């Protein structure tokens, strides 16, 4: 149980810190969109602003997701839930977290595959591709670019998505550990 409590403390602290920093990312996105609006009144509107705003929103969503899970800010049907006992809430939450973990694992596999593709890998084993990049037996191929006029590389935002999904998985496991401790009648923090 001490190991679970240590895991919870470390992951919660990590995602809390990242979430508190990322929450200010909305201002960066607002600044980009404000610049987009201002530049449209000039003779040369910025071509990059919409895509940068989309990338900022993706980063905001994926890196802020673990913080939202930790804070309980996600959507929940509280009509019945609020009246349940702590044990019943923990049992229900544990089942829902297991569903979330299954979903996040599928999402992570897709993210890893998509990131490998954006680095020029067209095979079916993206994990072996990344292992090969680390060992030097694989090389980066033709980098995928957006099809817009600005044509930014896509691997950076796909990497951010994968990092965000991993952080969400770690936070979901932390929430599962909290539910296990609650079901055993122990204090979580």
| Average pLDDT along the chain, 189 residues, taken 10 residues at a time | 92 97 93 90 84 94 95 80 89 95 98 96 94 94 92 96 98 96 83
CA dist list (Å): 173 to 26, 57, 99? 27, 25, 11
Tell me, what's the pLDDT at 30? Answer: 93
Dihedral sign (CA 174, 25, 57, 146): negative
Spatial neighbors of 91 by CB under 8 A, at least 6 apart, are 179, 183
Q: Are 172 and 100 in contact (CB under 8 A)?
A: yes
Helix axes 155-183, 86-118, angle to 10 degrees: 160
Tell me, what's the pLDDT at 189? Answer: 59
DSSP code for 23: T
Q: CA 39 to CA 32: how far, in whole Å? A: 10
Tell me, what's the pLDDT at 46? Answer: 84
pTM for this one?
0.91
Give the position of tokens 């897709």: 110
- Residue 136 region by backbone torsions, left for phi larger than 0, else alpha for psi between -120 and 50, else beta: left
Tell me, what's the pLDDT at 164? Answer: 98
Tell me, what's the pLDDT at 40? Answer: 86
């Amino acid at each position: 149980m001490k190991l679970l409590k240590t895991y919870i403390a470390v992951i919660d602290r990590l995602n809390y810190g990242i979430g508190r920093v990322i929450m200010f990312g909305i201002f960066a996105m607002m600044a980009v969109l404000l610049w987009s609006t201002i530049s449209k009144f000039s003779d040369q509107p910025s071509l990059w602003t919409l895509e940068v705003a989309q990338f900022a929103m993706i980063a905001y969503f994926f890196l802020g997701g673990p913080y939202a899970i930790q804070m309980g800010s996600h959507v929940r049907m509280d009509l019945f839930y609020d009246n349940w006992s702590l044990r019943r809430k923990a049992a229900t939450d544990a089942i829902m977290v297991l569903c979330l973990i299954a979903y996040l694992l599928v999402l992570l596999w897709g993210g890893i595959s998509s990131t490998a593709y954006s680095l020029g890998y067209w095979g079916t084993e993206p994990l072996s591709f990344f292992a090969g990049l680390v060992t030097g037996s694989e090389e980066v191929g033709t980098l995928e670019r957006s099809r817009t006029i600005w044509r930014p590389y896509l691997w950076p935002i796909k990497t951010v998505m994968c990092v965000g999904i991993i952080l969400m998985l770690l936070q979901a496991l932390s929430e599962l550990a909290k539910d296990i401790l609650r079901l055993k009648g122990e204090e979580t923090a």
